[in-house]
């Protein structure tokens, strides 16, 4: 079997099984079974001009190769083009996009540096899997350096409609770089359709029945691979006796019978302000919930160097104070807003002991919290998932209570419905949701992608010989 090389912006900490998310675990499994290599940034920054060789570490058969980033690269590639242009844009938030000179150059520079640093580690028959929006052009950079291996790309976040993407600087170049990959994977049908539309409109493209897309004079395969979680492991974590005991203690201290839980990175895509407003509206419309329901919102700090994240934090602090001031009493804090990272096993138990999982992103590639909430439920007395129709997860989790995250009143009504849902109905919904997330877990996702990559027709320029690679300089479409 070919060796697997995973490339992502950051390399997960493979030594910490409790803190590693499902993605890290699934990729580690795949890497371990093939004796693979994981390449990416180590999370550190160094002064510009510093040259530090990549650090090589070996953990149970997996080699990680990591490198620091210069402060300038961090500013321009990471905070800049990745998180202040691509992230908001691909989440349909043109209003939050900040273009600055240097961002795009920095993005191109770091992708080129990644390619330079990676190439010496590659073997001719490796399979290379590149992850996410930070690294769109990495495949093209590798091809420029003569790499002929199979290379796949998976986009973990949404792919916005072409009308929005058209506002990005050099958007055609960006999309065209994806044609250096043999396979491009998306989370949902919506994302896949947006991509198809983009290449039709801007690249004179078309897609055949098996997902081979031709555009910009090049060809690649596209398909949809909705990511899952490590369902069994999360379920086991939710029922660990130590975790249960810890949370039971805390549950005794907070009076209310029912708990609504929200868990997110503190990101403007997560719809947090309207989520808090919906809870306030629930208390207004249905006062019987006062003193009997608490909403716990855990929001982990993230990307604090990006201005828009400071704004959303201030808004939430103001809102949570206003809600508690208005509805709270000596013996009841309606909203518990926690701005902190929480250990995964504690989260799992908290999910299991909450009557409602409230997941209301304005736009989300998938949303794994929705799946984790389902995995953590006790099938005999399960809670109810209230889920935004704009989370990728809503394409499969049809038995959740689906809401429009922009409609505060509708969300309040849905919370009431969830809090009052009869046991039988909760059990039926849970059974169906659980069957879905068991079948389509992160291990299946990883296998499906790698199988499809192994089988995908090699990306070529139309008309060129099948054995030709886009790595041949003569075959590269303009601009790659
Ligand atoms: P995103 O990738 O945009 O952050 P997802 O819902 O897909 O959103 O994945 C988030 C992951 O991070 C989940 O595994 C979730 O459990 C974890 N997570 C989110 N918030 C916290 C927190 N406050 N503490 C610990 N883990 C968190």
Q: What is the rounded average pLDDT of the residues 362-390? A: 97
417 lines ligand 1 (CB under 6 A): no
261 lines ligand 1 (CB under 6 A): no
238 lines ligand 1 (CB under 6 A): no
For the beta carbon of residue 278, count every other beta carbon within 10 angstroms.
26
Q: For residue 90, give both structure tokens.
A: 């691909």
pLDDT level of residue 107 (50, 70, 90 thresholds): very high
Say what the pLDDT of residue 373 is. Answer: 98
| % the chain with pLDDT above 70 | 93
Alpha helices for 204-335 (secondary structure H):
231-238, 241-253, 272-285, 307-327
Do the Cβ atoms of 449 and 154 come closer than 8 Å? yes
Which residue has the least CA distance to atom 18 on ligand 1? 264
366 lines ligand 1 (CB under 6 A): yes
Residues 6+ apart with CB under 8 A from 169: 85, 99, 104
Q: Is the pLDDT of residue 376 over 70?
A: yes
Among 188, 265, 445, say which to mutate for ligand 1: greatest number of ligand atoms within 8 Å of CB.
Answer: 265
Query: CA dist 438 to 228, 235, 300, 441, 444, Å?
Result: 9, 10, 27, 6, 10
Distance 21 CA to ligand 1 centre (A): 8
Distance 270 CA to ligand 1 centre (A): 11
Q: What is the rounded average pLDDT of the residues 4-23? A: 79
Q: Is the pLDDT of residue 284 over 50?
A: yes
Give the residue with greater pLDDT, 219 vs 14: 219
- DSSP readout, 402-452? EE-TT-HHHHHHHHHHHHT--HHHHHHHHHHHHHHHHHT-HHHHHHHHHHH
342 lines ligand 1 (CB under 6 A): yes
Q: Is the pLDDT of residue 453 over 50?
A: yes
Backbone angles phi, psi at 121, to 5 degrees: -90, -10
Q: What is the rounded average pLDDT of the residues 250-262? A: 79
Q: Is the pLDDT of residue 467 over 90?
A: no
12 lines ligand 1 (CB under 6 A): no
Rounded-to-integer distance, Cα 347 and Cα 263, Å: 8
Distance 358 CA to ligand 1 centre (A): 13
Q: Is 202 a catalytic residue?
A: no
Q: Is the pLDDT of residue 475 over 90?
A: no
Q: For residue 299, give the ligand 1 atom closest to its CA.
A: 23
Give per-residue pLDDT as tens, 309-347.
878 889 999 999 999 999 999 999 999 999 998 888 889
- DSSP readout, 320-375? HHHHHHHH-BTTB-SEEEE-S---HHHHHHHHHT-SEEEE--SSBS--HHHHHHHH
Q: Is the pLDDT of residue 255 over 60?
A: no
Q: Is the pLDDT of residue 131 over 60?
A: yes
Among 25, 154, 262, 263, say which to mutate for ligand 1: greatest number of ligand atoms within 8 Å of CB.
Answer: 263
Question: What size, in residues, is the chain?
Answer: 480
362 lines ligand 1 (CB under 6 A): no
Say what the pLDDT of residue 466 is. Answer: 40
Which residue in 294, 191, 202, 312 sits closest to 251, CA to CA? 294
Q: What is the rounded average pLDDT of the residues 416-429? A: 98
Helix (H) or strand (E) holding 159: none
Q: Is 91 a catalytic residue?
A: no
Q: Is the pLDDT of residue 115 over 70?
A: yes
Say what the pLDDT of residue 339 is. Answer: 92
Say what the pLDDT of residue 273 is. Answer: 97
Q: Is the pLDDT of residue 461 over 60?
A: no
Q: Is the pLDDT of residue 169 over 60?
A: yes
Active-site residue among 73, 264, 274, 364? 364
347 lines ligand 1 (CB under 6 A): yes
Rounded-to-integer distance, Cα 422 and Cα 179, Å: 51
pLDDT level of residue 460 (50, 70, 90 thresholds): low
Q: What is the rounded average pLDDT of the residues 138-161? A: 97
Q: For residue 186, give both structure tokens.
A: 């998306």
What DSSP state is assigned to residue 220?
E
Q: Is the pLDDT of residue 252 over 80?
A: no
Q: Is the pLDDT of residue 477 over 80?
A: no
- DSSP readout, 60-89? TTEEEEEEEEEHHHIIIIIIIIIIIIIHHH
Q: What is the rounded average pLDDT of the residues 169-189? A: 96
Say what the pLDDT of residue 178 is. Answer: 97
């Amino acid at each position: 079997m070919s060796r697997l090389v995973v490339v992502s912006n950051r390399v997960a900490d493979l030594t910490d099984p409790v803190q590693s998310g499902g993605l890290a675990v699934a990729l580690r499994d795949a890497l371990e079974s093939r004796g693979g290599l994981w390449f990416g940034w180590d999370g550190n920054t160094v002064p510009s001009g510093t040259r530090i060789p990549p650090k090589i570490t070996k953990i149970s058969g997996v080699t990680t190769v990591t490198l620091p980033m210069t402060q300038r690269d961090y500013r321009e590639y990471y905070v800049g083009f990745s998180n202040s242009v691509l992230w908001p844009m691909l989440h349909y938030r043109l209003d939050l996009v900040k273009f600055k000179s240097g961002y795009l150059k920095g993005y191109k520079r770091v992708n080129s540096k990644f390619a330079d640093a990676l190439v010496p580690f590659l073997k001719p028959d490796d399979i290379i899997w590149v992850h996410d929006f930070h690294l769109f052009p990495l495949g093209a950079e590798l091809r420029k350096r003569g790499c002929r291996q199979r290379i796949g790309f998976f986009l973990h976040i949404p792919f916005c409609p072409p009308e929005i993407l058209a506002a990005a600087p050099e958007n055609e170049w960006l999309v065209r770089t994806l044609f250096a990959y043999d396979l491009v994977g998306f989370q949902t049908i919506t994302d896949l359709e947006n991509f198809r539309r983009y290449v039709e409109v801007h690249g004179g493209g078309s897609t055949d029945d098996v997902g081979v897309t031709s555009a910009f004079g090049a060809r690649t395969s596209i398909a949809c691979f909705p990511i899952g979680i490590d369902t069994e492991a999360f379920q086991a974590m939710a029922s660990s006796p130590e975790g249960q005991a810890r949370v039971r203690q805390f549950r005794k201290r907070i009076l209310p019978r029912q708990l609504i839980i929200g868990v997110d990175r503190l990101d403007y895509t997560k719809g947090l302000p309207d989520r808090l407003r919906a809870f306030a509206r629930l208390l207004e419309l249905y006062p019987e919930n006062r003193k009997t329901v608490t909403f716990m919102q855990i929001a982990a700090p993230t990307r604090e160097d990006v201005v828009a994240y400071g704004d959303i934090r201030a808004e939430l602090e103001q809102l949570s104070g206003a809600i508690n001031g208005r509805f709270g009493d000596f013996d009841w804090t309606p909203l518990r807003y926690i701005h902190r990272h929480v250990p995964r096993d504690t989260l799992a138990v908290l999910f299991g002991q909450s009557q409602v999982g409230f997941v209301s992103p304005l736009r989300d590639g998938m949303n794994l919290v929705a799946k984790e909430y389902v995995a953590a439920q006790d099938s005999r007395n399960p809670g109810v998932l209230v889920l935004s129709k704009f989370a990728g997860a809503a394409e499969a989790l049809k038995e959740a209570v689906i809401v429009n995250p922009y409609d505060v009143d509708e969300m309040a009504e849905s919370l009431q419905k969830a809090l009052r849902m009869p046991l039988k109905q909760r059990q039926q919904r849970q059974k169906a949701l659980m069957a879905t997330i068991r079948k389509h877990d992160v291990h299946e996702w990883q296998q499906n992608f790698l199988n499809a990559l192994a089988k995908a027709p090699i990306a070529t320029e139309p008309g060129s010989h099948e054995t030709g690679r886009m790595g041949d300089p003569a075959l590269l479409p303009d601009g790659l």
